[in-house]
Structure 1
Amino acid sequence: MKILHTSDWHIGKTLYGRKRYDEFEAFFSWLVETIEQEQVDVLLIAGDIFDTSTPGNRSQQLYYRFLHRVAASTCRHVVIIAGNHDSPSFLSAPRELLRALDVHVTGSLSGNPA
């Protein structure tokens, strides 16, 4: 089983006032190509998917389009864990829908982990 780990995307972050959507798009294209070439089974995204807890529409569009592309690839599962920049409730809101694509979201711990 091949697992690819990535984190700290900070989708939506600007640099010196410049929007970076083209850079995010290029990164996601590269990542999907890498998943295919390396025949990755599981993609683990460990936090800070977005740069703010209330990402803009363009950031969300990039994120969901990427997840759709991964679901159509050789990758069988995607596991997403919220980071300190992410809103746990925002990431968890489409949990049931994303599960249909084998995307598993953990926005926050629920219950007693012990």
Structure 2
Amino acid sequence: MALVVYLKSVSDLPGKGDRLAKVSFRGLSFYSRVLDNCQDEARFEEAFRWPIASKVDGNEMLEINIYNYSKVFTNRLIGTFRMVLQKVVEEGHLEVSDTLTDDNNTSVL
């Protein structure tokens, strides 16, 4: 069994630049490829897969961070999406469209 996250796109991003996504579950993070010169939308179209050896608890979290990528400086966090996996555990599949938030849990849009 595995948890698979398919990251389609992120829209209404501020400014323009190179974009990068980091998807984390159970302490294991995966990074997307860098999307060059994005305007307000980043179309990732990537799948991330975590093999599951033990049952997924409904209180576990999935986290997606979106960054402005920099080859020279530290990547700048644009926003975060966090989701408790309770609904995924119950239904086995879920499609989500939501807003990114900042460190204060405020919408970045």
TM-score (norm 1): 0.29
TM-score (norm 2): 0.30
- Relative to its length, the structure with more helix (as a share) is 1
- Relative to its length, the structure with more strand (as a share) is 2
